[in-house]
Amino acid sequence: MSKRIYLCLAHMSGNEMAYIQEAFDTNWVVPLGPNVNGFESDLEHFVNNVQGATSKELDKKVVALSAGTAAVHLALLACGVGQGDEVIVQSFTFCASSHPVTYLGATPVFVDSEEDTWNMNPQLLEQAIIDRMAVTGKKPKAIVLVYLYGMPAKIDEICAIADKYGIPVIEDAAEGLGSRYDGQVCGTFGMYGVLSFNGNKMITTSGGGALICPDGEAKQKVMFYATQAREAYPYYQHEEIGYNYRMSNICAGIGRGQMTVLDEHIAHHKHVHALYKELLAGVPGITIHDNPSSRYDSNFWLVNILLSPDLCVKGEEHAYVATVTGAVGGAAGVTHAASDPHTDCEPNRNVEAMRLALDAAGVESRPLWKPMHRQPVYRNNPCYVDGTSERLFKMGLCLPAGPYVSDSDVRLIAQTIKDSIQ
């Protein structure tokens, strides 16, 4: 095996070191400084750029933070979420969309996805709002919408429902940097938008994230809470609880270099998706997830396929025989060892067999996100579901799509998939 093909790894532009060196030379090795300011300015320019025939003008502001999870946390805080509140969260997502709700003593209320985008179902969203108001006597404090794997949601319908009930929308666009709906960047439709620059995202700062804010006043408020909520005294005076969430000037320097290749990365992901689509076209039992219409413009952060439950994959008899002992989701991960290869909600055997076949060929793949309403930690949370995300989770597999994935890699992966079908 000459190399291993990973799902999505960061790719350096070659410009990062100049910004990092400048930070060292000027002794700005702190969580503020010229690179932080410059990175925020670069991001503001990008997210406010509306493409197409629309004359819409945006003036969103951006705060660079230590993680995308921190951005979710501060967005919830800015929306007034606190102890005893409820927040509606898309169930089909990574835990960073929901865990910050619990940090604030609030309760995530999970809503299922629809078939087209795999994102929040507008009809179930309204059903959840009406029901929670009847049960609790008050409306949910916020709605956390996710752009799963970069795919835009049915944002017009969701925002219309949110506006109808006066509930702010937080767009978790951690996977969706560069995705657009009607030419507008995902993360700029709601009250707040979340970005991530983890090492596997469209661009990276090694870690880190950002919060897209509606205006300068909101940005100042978020920065206040992100820097320990310090009052203007010659000593440390704290009248509110704050957090140590500001991005490092060193990490921001990496981000400034990465911004120079963001458009190139987005184009590459779209090219890789198109090639997978071409190579897997007509393969019985394999469906590739795609933009539902021309209004949707996904960055295709990862390429996702569905395997029909009737599809027979070689080696299914070996699926779930061995327990996973290492970290899933990154070499730096720390996990508890699994005592049983099975859980009460898991991908179908043919999906696991395909994952093992790709792994044997040196290709990293991974099941789709397990819905939050099926996670043990949230077993008692309210949920409004119709089975969509659970069905997709059982059938889906993520394929590599990052900047290091070449055309020959895609051909190898597609051929391995074809060869693995009985």
Domain architecture of the chain: domains with CATH: 16-261 (3.40.640.10), 263-419 (3.90.1150.10)
Alpha helices in 178-316 (DSSP H): 216-226, 249-259, 262-280
Q: What is the pLDDT of residues 126-183, one digit of tens each?
A: 999 999 999 999 999 999 999 999 999 999 999 999 999 999 999 999 999 999 999 9
- Backbone phi, then psi, for 192, in 5-degree steps? -135, 155
Instruction: Flag whether pLDDT at 97 surpasses 60.
Output: yes
Give the type of residue at 294. Answer: S
**Secondary structure (DSSP) of 80-110:** T--TT-EEEEESSS-GGGTHHHHHTT-EEEE
- Backbone phi, then psi, for 409, in 5-degree steps? -65, -45
Residue 17 confidence (pLDDT):
93
Rounded distance between C-alpha atoms, residue 283 and residue 408, angstroms:
19
Rounded distance between C-alpha atoms, residue 110 and residue 143, angstroms:
10
Q: Is 249 helix (H, G, I), strand (E, B) or coil?
A: helix
Rounded distance between C-alpha atoms, residue 215 and residue 155, angstroms:
20
Task: Look up the pTM and report it.
Answer: 0.95
Give the type of residue at 97. Answer: S
Instruction: Flag whether pLDDT at 1 surpasses 50.
Output: no
Rounded distance between C-alpha atoms, residue 25 and residue 155, angstroms:
45
Q: What is the pLDDT of residues 24-55, one digit of tens each?
A: 999 888 788 999 999 999 999 999 999 987 77
Q: What is the pLDDT of residues 367-376, one digit of tens each?
A: 999 999 999 9
Give the CB-side neighbour count of residue 266, counting CA atoms within 13 A: 19
